[in-house]
């Protein structure tokens, strides 16, 4: 049994000075002030660790990430998935969903099948299909030659290949058959997300009414907000059922817009990285699925410069920027980095907050809100 004492805990109810007790990989006690005694018959000897007033937040939950440390989830290879997951774990992401960009039908099946093995091993919490049913006019860093109309049979094959681990799919609701595929996803227990879309607001609202519950990287890869036609942005911000993703890297969305989204969407904002293989690496040439990417000054773009191609940040950086650059209150930024994405993925009974009974996934912050230590399943990593 381990008790972290003299901690500044970021709880769902606010920030308190107190302690958190861990046993068997779970949180078994949380309280304010000095630690209470570890009562109960058969209680193991207690180790008390003084964290000296440092901030302790729930482990970060990244619901949208493609790669890192020079590796990518796209191939489905277990060794690459392990490299990506371990890199982001070191930066505080204790729960991660592996995202795949648009690929060939067989390539996606192979990638999903390989990542299902990674999920079985506990490296990832599921698989996110970002495509291939996206709008060509908003394809971003997806290969336009591989985009296709929603195919319910193909989707069923991908779900089968994932062996229960396909957790989310992003699609453009204006495509023929897209709303029917949203309903298929809901029936299969897969979160449907709206993204890479040029749809009008009415069309997006139809998808939300059919069961879509996430807006993929709000503003990016979608029709812009206009005062006479709100499009996907207006529909997502106005729907209390919908979680809105934000890539808070200072490239995709400026701080003023981050503040506006937090003000408008309250507890529905999920910080994501959308990180590709260059995260944790230097400038240079990389791949995002079939596309060539150039990274310069930490900014990733397609080789021809036509589109941003994911990010190079970690969740720790997205969280830090929310607090220090956008001025989001600590507890709101923590919620957006942990509890909101966990809830969107249906994992909030296990992770996302420092609550008794949940997995002991937490991050101890150091100077400048850097990551000092990471605990996953009750073990320091």
User: What is the token pair recorded at 232?
Assistant: 């996907």
Task: Please write the tens of the pLDDT for every residue from 292-308.
Answer: 999 999 999 999 999 99
Catalytic residue among 274, 283, 348, 377: 274
The strand ranges marked E within 131-213 are: 166-171, 191-194
Buried b (16+ CB within 10 A) or exposed e, 240-258: eebbbbbbbbbbbbebebb
Q: Which residues are annotated as a binding site for substrate?
A: 141, 220-221, 228, 252, 308-310
For 302, the 3-state DSSP assignment is strand
Query: Which residues are annotated as part of the binding site?
Result: 130, 141, 196, 217, 220-221, 228, 252, 308-310
329-344 burial string, b = 16+ CB within 10 Å, else e? ebbbbbbbbbbbbbbb
CA pair distance 71, 275, nearest whole angstrom: 11
User: Domains along the chain?
Assistant: 2-57+356-380 (2.30.40.10), 60-344 (3.20.20.140)
Annotation: binding site for Zn(2+): 130, 196, 217
Distances (CA, A) of 234 to 175, 182, 184, 219, 258: 19, 20, 25, 10, 15
Coil, helix or strand at residue 239: coil
Say how far apart CA 211 and CA 337 lie, in whole Å: 23
Q: Which of 144, 141, 149, 80 is nearest to 111 (CA)?
A: 80
Whether the link from the prior residue into 173 is cis, omega within 30° of 0, is no
198 catalytically annotated: no
Closest listed residue to residue 367, CA positions, set 134, 7, 55 = 55
Q: Using an 8 Å Cβ cutoff, are 174 and 201 in contact?
A: no
Give me the residues paired with residue 263 across strands.
none
Beta strands in 203-257 (DSSP E): 214-215, 243-247
Contacts of 25 (CB under 8 A, 6+ apart): 359, 360, 377, 378, 379
pLDDT at 42: 44
Q: Which residues of the chain have pLDDT under 50?
A: 40-42
Distance, CA of 174 to CA of 199 (rounded, Å): 6
Query: pTM higher than 0.75 for the full model?
Result: yes
């Amino acid at each position: 049994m381990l008790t972290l004492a003299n901690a500044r805990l970021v709880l769902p109810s606010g920030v308190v000075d107190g302690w958190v007790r861990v046993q068997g990989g779970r949180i078994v006690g949380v309280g304010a002030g000095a630690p209470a005694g570890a009562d109960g018959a058969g209680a193991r000897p207690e180790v008390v660790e003084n964290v000296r007033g440092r901030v302790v937040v729930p482990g970060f939950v990244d619901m949208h990430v493609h790669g890192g440390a020079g590796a990518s989830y796209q191939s489905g290879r277990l060794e690459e998935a392990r490299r990506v997951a371990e890199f982001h774990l070191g930066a505080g992401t204790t729960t991660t969903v592996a995202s795949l960009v648009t690929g060939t039908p067989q390539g996606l099946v192979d990638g999903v099948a390989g990542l299902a093995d990674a999920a079985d091993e506990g490296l990832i919490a599921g698989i996110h299909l970002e495509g291939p049913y996206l709008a060509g006019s908003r394809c971003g860093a997806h290969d336009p030659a591989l985009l296709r109309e929603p195919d319910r049979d193909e989707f069923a094959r991908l779900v089968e290949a994932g062996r229960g681990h396909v957790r989310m799919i992003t699609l453009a609701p204006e495509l023929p058959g897209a709303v029917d595929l949203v309903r298929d996803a809901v029936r299969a227990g897969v979160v449907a997300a709206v993204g890479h879309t040029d749809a009008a607001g009415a069309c997006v609202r139809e998808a939300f009414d059919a069961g879509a519950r996430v807006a993929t990287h709000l503003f990016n890869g979608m029709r812009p907000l206009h005062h006479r036609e709100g499009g996907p942005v207006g529909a997502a911000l106005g729907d209390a059922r919908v979680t809105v993703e934000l890539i808070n890297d200072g490239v995709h969305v400026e701080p003023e817009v981050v503040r506006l989204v937090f003000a408008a969407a309250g507890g529905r904002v999920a910080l994501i990285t959308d990180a590709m293989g260059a995260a944790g690496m230097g400038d240079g040439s990389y791949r995002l699925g079939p596309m060539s990417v150039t990274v310069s000054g930490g900014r990733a773009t397609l080789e021809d410069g036509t589109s941003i191609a994911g990010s190079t940040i970690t969740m720790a950086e997205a969280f830090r920027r929310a607090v220090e650059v956008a001025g989001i209150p600590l507890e709101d930024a923590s919620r957006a980095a942990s509890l909101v994405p966990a809830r969107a993925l249906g994992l909030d009974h296990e992770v996302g907050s420092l609550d008794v009974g949940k997995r002991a996934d937490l991050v101890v912050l150091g100077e400048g809100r850097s990551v000092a230590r990471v605990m996953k399943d009750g073990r320091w990593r």
